[in-house]
Amino acid sequence: MTPAFSRHPIPTSLLSLSSRSATLVLAALGTTANSYATYKILSAALYHRALDNESESEGLFSWKVDGARALAVIVCAYFFVGAIASAVGLVGVLKVRAAITSNRPPRYS
C-alpha cells in the first residue's frame, strides 16, 4: 500500500522553481536585514562615541574599553559577517538561476 502523498507527487520543475524563488527572496532579505542592523549598530556606537569624546575631550582615539563598546563591536561584526554570507548566497542563487534559464529553449520559437 502506498502512502497518500506519493499518489500525486509535485512535479520536480515546479518544486525546484518555487524553492529557488524562496531561496532568492530569503537571501535578499537576509542581506538587507543584516546590512541594516550593521548600519544601525555602527551608527549608534559612533554617536555614543562622539558624545563621550565631547564630554571627556580625550581626542578621537581613546584606548579606554568598556563593556558597551566591546559588545557593540562584537554584535556589529556578527551582523556584518551575516550580511556577507547572505550576499554570497544571493550571488550563488543568481548564478544557478542564470545557468538554468540559459539552458531552457526559447519561449517564442
Residue with cell 563593556: 67
56-99 residue pLDDT tens: 555 555 566 678 788 888 999 999 999 999 999 998 888 877 77
Give the number of other Cβ atoms within 10 Å of residue 46's Cβ: 11
Alpha-carbon gap, residue 92 to 83, rounded angstroms: 14
Is residue 38 very low, low, confident or very high in pLDDT (cuts 50, 70, 90)? very high
Higher pLDDT, 70 or 9: 70
Alpha-carbon gap, residue 86 to 31, rounded angstroms: 5
Does residue 14 register a pLDDT over 80? no
Burial (CB < 10 A; 0-12, 13-18, 19+), residue 52, is middle
The DSSP result for 6-71, as a single string, is GTSPPPHHHHHHHHHHHHHHHHHHHHHHHHHHHHHHHHHHHHHHHHHHHHH---S------HHHHH
Give the Å distances, CA to CA, from 84 to 14, 15, 18, 47, 78: 29, 27, 24, 24, 10
pLDDT of amino acid 59: 53
